[in-house]
A and B are shown apart, each in its own frame.
Chain A
Amino acid sequence: MPAADRINYSLRPNKNVERKLIVETLAALPSAFDLRSYRYIGMGSLWFVDFRLVHRHLGIGDMISIEDRLVSRAKFNKPLACITVQEGLTTDVLSRMDLREKKSIVWLDHEKGPDGAVFDDIGQVCPELPSGSVLILTVNADRRSLERVLDDEGRELKPGQALEYYAREAASENVPEELDNLSYPPILAQTLFRAIVRSLRTSGRQERFWPLFNFLYDDGTPMVTIGGLILDETDAGLFKEAKLSEHLHYVIDTFDLQLELDVPVLTPREKDAFDQLLPSATPISPNDFKRKAKFGLEASRIRAYEKLYKHYPTFGEYLT
């Protein structure tokens, strides 16, 4: 890939698009859920982009950001009065909270993969989040986090075994020993879903987990985001009626489907030229595209942009 196609990691267009897709989906949940009354728990870091989106589009006014290292900077940077910064590691902060008392949207965005806190976090939140709550987990899907993992006797584990080691009881029996960056992300997603389902069951809950998202994207590092709802029978009925997966093409209704987000890198000029062709009743072929837009793009990129163009970010600089 030519260098110009690789955008600055700090701008992360795929993550940007994913964020908007997720908030759009949540906004489409049945009004009976009354999202305004929810609490949002996330990891805003210093930029709090998700917090702003959630507040603006979902109307949530009770927000908590978990921050471990840059606490005072986070407190300085929080954009809204309704955000509280809680200091500590996710598992510790979650264990201190009474999650039973309020329905929540919990989005834990980890830098690490299965070797990090994600399985512990699942164990913290699943026994407690009341029906109607949303759980979203983002983890690192780079296969390298499964390398150089040693077992109790100091022997290096194969990647599949390393995943089993981290996931414990949630690991599938069928994980192949060798995993590459193609096979690993879907398996990682499945393992996370399984861990959630298991945690709900072993904590004696009647509620089930209904999937919404299973995204794979790469803004320099492959990442997987899975998400869904914890619902009892009544809420599940309301949710099924809304038929979200029929209206929103990126919402899944089974655990085993993973969607790759691969937004093409376009200059603002290219974006405008492309937008002038959209929406299009028929898919645009590369030749057609080149003729009308006056620059060339591969078919896959054209298709990806067609699907996500409404959420595509534009970046600019503002003067202070």
Chain B
Amino acid sequence: MSKETNKRVDVEISAAEPARAAAEDRDIVVLPAGEIDLETVDASATKEFFVYMITKDIVVEDCILDLLDNSIDGAHRSVNHEGDNHDATRPLLGFSADLTLSAHEFQINDNCGGMTISEAKDYAFRFGRHRSPDAAATDDLIGLYGIGMKRAIFKIGTVAEVRSSTNLEAFRVDIDVVDWIDRPERRTNAGGWSFPLRRLDLWEPAGTRVTINGLYGLVRDQFADESFINQLRKIVARDYTFYLQKGFVVTINGNPVEPEVLQFRTSEMFAPARHQYEDEGVTVELIAGMAHLPPDDISAEARQLNVNRSGWYVACNDRLILAADKTPLTVWGDEGFTAWHPQYVGFRGIAHFRAADTRLLPWNTTKRGIDALHPAYRRAVARMKKFTQTYVKYTADRRRNIEKAKQLELAARPVPLTQVPVRQTMAVPTIKSEAEGPVEVSVQYVVPKRMLERAAETLGNKRLSASNVGRRTFEYYYRREVGE
């Protein structure tokens, strides 16, 4: 509130025209005998409200990944500034972020160059992104909205220490959330919405360390749960696979995370498509092909080994946003395109969107979801459908001569993504039906489960799959009654 609201204003209101005076001057309310009264509504935000709003719609895992993003950002920035003295295929080699999670403490410690004090003052600890003076719009930053670190701290615990050192300066900021919330909120007083910062001596390697204590109950339980840690490890392995393969190291409680390596089966007959094009400031790269062998059994009961690795992967600036997607968010069932079917297990597509200006990328504000209506994304989807269609058609055609198809599929060797060459279209073999081969039809019907199990038992294997029971019972009848 400004001081002016308490100002008294003496005005002469002529007795004949009180109403007009009131309309002209907003500070004046017509009241008897020259009294001034003023009510206002204080619309300034309380710190509690702010903390509540920015933490309510995000889960702890995503907060942790936000901190990881900051480290990776720092690594990219350091690489850019140091110039071209890194191995081109592993440009992030040498950079790392170590995460430790326990019921008592959370810590992330990186060697990614640290932040300057002016960055800390104007950006990292400020609410609302204030452009850091060093950052150009062309910096390859995924920490776009600047809110990640503050949100993570507020979500995870009540006490935090952030220390950071660059090659030129170092500092430390201590945050006591409860104390900070209670501090008076006078805007003119810098103490209201600020944190104390202390300069320190430099240290090496340049990097940032965030330590959070006073963990909230829910968070404490999660960090103490081994399965949560394992889940986090899997998420990092998958969503950061491209960074990890570029040399960045992430350890969780001392153990490095191994990236999930994406491969495609390649031979003379099978080759993934790899096509790159520019679209209004965004470089789009699409890779699609056969990652795993097509399944033998596609009935509903069959266990699909590779189902969690099949579908479309979508990444923005190497950060995986969608993994193994089988929904209309990518192509499946979108605008009349075929919906996902177990028959397609083994198909993998990867869509990379890269841009120097991160605002052009088709992700949403949390950077964890796709903005499906983004025009560049829609244009890419049209092409993604085309590649997918080739594979979809192949899975239908291969039934003409399944033995031959399997031979060719087995002969295709897995090749890691980094070694897949440029190819405008996906190559799949043309499977012709055998010259004398019989025309085949599919027989499908429904029977009570108990009956199936009993039949399987008498066929010698209680766990025989439905399709095999069908096949064997048909052959049984055929031999006995048709007799060929």
Are these two chains actual partners, yes or no?
A: yes
A-side interface residues toward B, CB under 8 Å? Answer: 92, 95, 119-120, 123, 127-128, 168-169, 198-199, 202-206
Partner among A119, A120, A168, A204 whose Cβ is within 8 Å of the Cβ of B375: A204
Q: Say yes or no: B335 contacts A204, CB within 8 Å.
A: no
Q: How far is the CA of A204 from the CA of B284 in the complex (A)?
A: 14
| A–B pairs, 20, beta carbons within 8 Å | A95-B389, A119-B336, A123-B335, A123-B337, A127-B383, A127-B385, A128-B382, A168-B336, A169-B336, A198-B335, A202-B378, A203-B378, A204-B374, A204-B375, A204-B376, A204-B377, A204-B378, A204-B379, A204-B382, A205-B379
Interface residue B86 (Cβ < 8 Å from any Cβ of A)? no
Interface residue B381 (Cβ < 8 Å from any Cβ of A)? yes
Q: Say yes or no: B389 contacts A169, CB within 8 Å.
A: no
A sample of 17 more A-B contacts (CB under 8 A), given A119-B336, A204-B380, is A92-B393, A95-B393, A120-B336, A123-B335, A123-B337, A127-B385, A168-B335, A169-B336, A198-B335, A199-B335, A202-B378, A203-B378, A203-B381, A204-B374, A204-B377, A204-B379, A204-B381
Interface residue B386 (Cβ < 8 Å from any Cβ of A)? yes
Task: Given A92-B393, A95-B389, decide whether A123 and B336 contact each other with a Cβ distance below 8 A.
Answer: yes
Q: How far is the CA of A168 from the CA of B339 in the complex (A)?
A: 14
Q: Say yes or no: B335 contacts A169, CB within 8 Å.
A: yes
- Name the A residues within 8 Å of B374 (CB-CB): 204
- Name the B residues within 8 Å of A199 (CB-CB): 335
Decide if the interface of chain A is mainly helix, strand, loop or mixed. Answer: helix
Q: How far is the CA of A128 from the CA of B385 in the complex (A)?
A: 12
Nearest B residue (CB) for A126: B382
Q: Say yes or no: A203 contacts B386, CB within 8 Å.
A: no
- Name the A residues within 8 Å of B386 (CB-CB): 95
Q: Say yes or no: A127 contacts B382, CB within 8 Å.
A: yes
- Name the B residues within 8 Å of A95 (CB-CB): 386, 389, 393
Nearest A residue (CB) for B386: A95
Q: How far is the CA of A205 from the CA of B375 in the complex (A)?
A: 7
Nearest A residue (CB) for B424: A98
- Name the A residues within 8 Å of B336 (CB-CB): 119-120, 123, 168-169
Q: How far is the CA of A123 from the CA of B337 in the complex (A)?
A: 8
Q: Distance in Å from the Cβ of A198 to the closest Cβ of chain B?
A: 8
Q: How far is the CA of A206 from the CA of B379 in the complex (A)?
A: 10
* 6 residue pairs, one from A and one from B, having the closest CB atoms: A204-B378, A127-B382, A204-B379, A203-B382, A204-B375, A95-B389
Q: How far is the CA of A154 from the CA of B393 in the complex (A)?
A: 28
- Name the B residues within 8 Å of A203 (CB-CB): 378-379, 381-382
Q: Distance in Å from the Cβ of B225 to the closest Cβ of chain A?
A: 43
Residues B370-419 near A (CB distance < 8 A): 374-383, 385-386, 389, 393
A-facing mask of B305-342, CB < 8 A → 1, else 0? 00000000000000000000000000000111100000
- Name the B residues within 8 Å of A204 (CB-CB): 374-382
Q: Distance in Å from the Cβ of B313 to the closest Cβ of chain A?
A: 20
Q: Distance in Å from the Cβ of B175 to the closest Cβ of chain A?
A: 44
Q: How far is the CA of A123 from the CA of B389 in the complex (A)?
A: 12
Q: Distance in Å from the Cβ of B469 to the closest Cβ of chain A?
A: 27
- Name the B residues within 8 Å of A92 (CB-CB): 393
Nearest A residue (CB) for B279: A204
Nearest A residue (CB) for B425: A98
- Name the A residues within 8 Å of B335 (CB-CB): 123, 168-169, 198-199, 202
Q: How far is the CA of A128 from the CA of B393 in the complex (A)?
A: 20
Q: Distance in Å from the Cβ of A215 to the closest Cβ of chain B?
A: 25
- Name the A residues within 8 Å of B381 (CB-CB): 203-204
Q: Distance in Å from the Cβ of A199 to the closest Cβ of chain B?
A: 7
Q: Distance in Å from the Cβ of A96 to the closest Cβ of chain B?
A: 8
Residues B332-380 near A (CB distance < 8 A): 334-337, 374-380
Most buried by A among B336, B376, B386: B336
A-facing mask of B230-250, CB < 8 A → 1, else 0? 000000000000000000000
Nearest A residue (CB) for B374: A204
Residues B99-147 near A (CB distance < 8 A): none
Q: How far is the CA of A127 from the CA of B382 in the complex (A)?
A: 6
Q: How far is the CA of A171 from the CA of B372 in the complex (A)?
A: 22
- Name the A residues within 8 Å of B378 (CB-CB): 202-204
Q: How far is the CA of A198 from the CA of B334 in the complex (A)?
A: 12
Q: Distance in Å from the Cβ of A121 to the closest Cβ of chain B?
A: 11
- Name the B residues within 8 Å of A169 (CB-CB): 335-336
- Name the A residues within 8 Å of B385 (CB-CB): 127
Most buried by B among A92, A204, A205, A206: A204
- Name the A residues within 8 Å of B383 (CB-CB): 127
- Name the B residues within 8 Å of A120 (CB-CB): 336
Q: How far is the CA of A128 from the CA of B375 in the complex (A)?
A: 14
- Name the B residues within 8 Å of A123 (CB-CB): 335-337
Q: How far is the CA of A202 from the CA of B385 in the complex (A)?
A: 13
Q: How far is the CA of A119 from the CA of B336 in the complex (A)?
A: 8
Nearest A residue (CB) for B377: A204
A-facing mask of B134-165, CB < 8 A → 1, else 0? 00000000000000000000000000000000
Q: Distance in Å from the Cβ of B427 to the closest Cβ of chain A?
A: 13
Nearest A residue (CB) for B382: A127
Q: Distance in Å from the Cβ of A306 to the closest Cβ of chain B?
A: 43
- Name the A residues within 8 Å of B379 (CB-CB): 127, 203-205
Most buried by A among B374, B378, B382, B393: B382
Q: How far is the CA of A168 from the CA of B333 in the complex (A)?
A: 12
Nearest A residue (CB) for B376: A204
Nearest B residue (CB) for A205: B379
Q: How far is the CA of A168 from the CA of B378 in the complex (A)?
A: 19
Q: How far is the CA of A203 from the CA of B379 in the complex (A)?
A: 5
Most buried by A among B335, B375, B378, B379: B335
Q: How far is the CA of A96 from the CA of B376 in the complex (A)?
A: 23
Q: Distance in Å from the Cβ of B97 to the closest Cβ of chain A?
A: 36
Q: How far is the CA of A123 from the CA of B388 in the complex (A)?
A: 14
Q: Distance in Å from the Cβ of B274 to the closest Cβ of chain A?
A: 16
Q: Distance in Å from the Cβ of A197 to the closest Cβ of chain B?
A: 13
Q: How far is the CA of A127 from the CA of B384 in the complex (A)?
A: 11
Q: Distance in Å from the Cβ of A250 to the closest Cβ of chain B?
A: 31
- Name the A residues within 8 Å of B375 (CB-CB): 204, 206
- Name the A residues within 8 Å of B389 (CB-CB): 95
- Name the A residues within 8 Å of B337 (CB-CB): 123
Q: Distance in Å from the Cβ of B331 to the closest Cβ of chain A?
A: 11
Q: How far is the CA of A168 from the CA of B374 in the complex (A)?
A: 22
Nearest A residue (CB) for B393: A92
Q: Distance in Å from the Cβ of A270 to the closest Cβ of chain B?
A: 48
Q: Distance in Å from the Cβ of A217 to the closest Cβ of chain B?
A: 28
- Name the A residues within 8 Å of B393 (CB-CB): 92, 95
Nearest B residue (CB) for A99: B386
- Name the A residues within 8 Å of B382 (CB-CB): 127-128, 203-204
Q: Distance in Å from the Cβ of B351 to the closest Cβ of chain A?
A: 13
